[in-house]
Amino acid sequence: MTQQAVLVTGASGFVGAALILRLCDRADISVTAASRNVNHEWPTGVKYLHLTDMEADHVAIPLDGVDTIVHCAARVHVMSDQASDPASVFRKINVHATLNLARQAAIAGVRRFVFISSIKVNGEATIAGGSFNSSDIPAPEDPYAISKLEAEQELMKLAGETGLEVVIIRPPLVYGPGVKGNFASLIKLMGKGFPLPLGAIHNKRSLVGIDNLVDLIIRCIDHPAAANQIFLAGDGEDLSTAELLRSLAEALGRPARLIPVPVGLLSFGATLLGKQEVARRLLGSLQVDISKAREVLGWEPPVSVKEGLRRCVCDSSV
């Protein structure tokens, strides 16, 4: 059997590690994990490539025989960035390193480059009843999102110049077993049964479970029609913040103690405390239209939100 050689960057990260586990189930794919993390334990049969300084043009990246690259490596968005010049740091990792890898991929004869971007390229919020789609005019607001858009634009330009097939995937918040950050904090709060003043929030937000995102990535590795396209990822089921918290509590087998405090009062309190960004995520809407992936790739999210949340919390320590 002829195998397709797939290289995954950021392979020890949340998305990369889950993708590699799924790819290992495919007899027709050989997997190379590219990462800075030399201590990560890789599945049997996975080759390891220690990648550092991808942004350095003089560093030759061994890509002979690679058919497809899935580029998950990135400097990710953080709520309180401590860098003195965040834009410069984001651009170095998310733009320069990405383009260096892609240029070397084109020279080496790599067929396809799948770039994991972010829904933040579209913007930070959607209006009531509206949703982001892949044809929207981008509206990134922070240095992270701007760097992702710049990388997308340069990759598409490179595709036109070289014939390298580029696929861009923009996921919203990704959750699943081992998730960290604010989502992990919500799981802990619901697990401990703390009352939260979030019972009156009727926004709508799209999420994507890690199993659904990995499934879409694999479809974009395989499907001929994915070439040079942008796809938005999502579960296909949108939840309000209150609905999400109730669903997490149900998955944990705990009661949801949500107090119906008016949204205006919550927003005012968040402003006084300097927590406007947190409030925007909890109170605002961000909906994603995944119809293009359905129509072009014949893709449907295989895991429901209810099952995805159950998988997410099953190993949580609360």
Tokens of 143: 């240095």
Q: Are the C-beta atoms of residues 106 and 100 closer than 8 Å to each other?
A: no
HSE, CB side, 13 Å, CA atoms: give it for residue 70: 30
Q: At what angle do helices 305-313 and 181-192 cross, to 10 degrees?
A: 80
Catalytic residue flag (residue 48) = no
**Residue carrying the six token digits 């971007």:** 117
What span, in angstroms and rounded, lies between the C-alpha atoms of 116 and 57? 22
Q: Which of 90, 113, 132, 144 is catalytic?
A: 144
Q: Round to whole Å and give the CA distance between 70 and 64.
A: 15
Paired residues of 177 in beta bridges: none
Give the other-Cβ count within 10 Å of 38's Cβ: 8
Nearest to 229 by CA among 159, 138, 137: 159
Per the listing, tokens 């960290």 go with 180
Looking at the chain, list the stretches that DSSP marks H as alpha helix, in order from N- to C-terminal side: 14-23, 86-90, 98-108, 143-162, 181-192, 210-222, 241-252, 263-272, 276-283, 291-297, 305-313
Cα angle at 171 between 167 and 176, to 5 degrees? 125
> What are the residue numbers of the active site?
144
